[in-house]
Amino acid sequence: MECRHHIHGSHPGHGCKSHAGCIRLVPIFNHLEEEQMAKIGASVETLALQKGEILFRAGERDDTLYIIHTGKVRIYRLADSGKEQLVRILNPGDFTGELAVFQPGEIHENYAEALQDSTICRMKQKDLQAYLLAYPQIALKILRALAKMLYPLKL
C-alpha cells in the first residue's frame, strides 16, 4: 500500500497504516518477508516535500532514518565561505540519517533539500534499533551500504 497523503507538517499518527511500498524500495529492507516489511512499515511516517523544501538543516538533532520514496533530494553542506558543497544526490530507494542509528543524539552537519517534488519515508532511531535486534540481517545490509559509500569502486 502506498501512502502519499501524510504530508510535512501534518499530525503524526494520521496517515497510512502500512508503508511497505517505501520499505520495499530500500536494499537494507527489501530482502525481508512481506510480514516483516509490513511490521517495519507500520512505524514509518511519510512526508511530502515540494521542490526546494528543506528536509533537515545543519545543527538540527539527527534521530531519524530518511528513505527517498519518490523524487530526488540533495545533501549539501555550507563551507566557511558560505558556498554550498554538494555531498550527494539521493534517488528513490536511497537513504540518509544512518549515523543516527549508531550515534544517538547526533547533530546534522549537512542540509537536505528536495530537488523535485518528493515523498520521504522516515523512521525514528528507537524503532530502527528495535528492528536491527529483531532482524540482524538489516544491520549487515546497512554496513554494506555504508561501505559502498566509503569505497564505491571496490564493492
> Which grid coordinates belong to 142?
546497512
Q: Please say whether the beta carbons of 101 and 26 come within 8 A.
A: no
Q: For residue 112, what pLDDT is reported?
A: 97
Q: For residue 52, what pLDDT is reported?
A: 97
Q: For residue 150, what pLDDT is reported?
A: 73
Q: For residue 1, what pLDDT is reported?
A: 33
pTM of the model as a whole: 0.77
Q: For residue 149, what pLDDT is reported?
A: 72
Residues 41 and 52: their CA atoms lie apart, in Å, by 27
Q: For residue 9, what pLDDT is reported?
A: 37
Burial class (CB in 10 A: 0-12, 13-18, 19+), 95: buried
Q: For residue 50, what pLDDT is reported?
A: 98
HEC string of the chain? Answer: CCCCCCCCCCCCCCCCCCCHHHHHHCCCCCCCCHHHHHHHHCCCEEEEECCCCEEECCCCECCEEEEEEECCEEEEEECCCCCEEEEEEECCCCEECHHHHHCCCCECCCEEEECCCEEEEEEEHHHHHHHHHHCHHHHHHHHHHHHHHHCCCCC
Q: For residue 145, what pLDDT is reported?
A: 77
Q: Splitting the chain (155 residues) into consecutive groups of 10 residues, what average pLDDT does each group show?
A: 36 43 78 81 91 95 90 95 94 85 80 96 88 82 77 61
Q: For residue 71, what pLDDT is reported?
A: 96
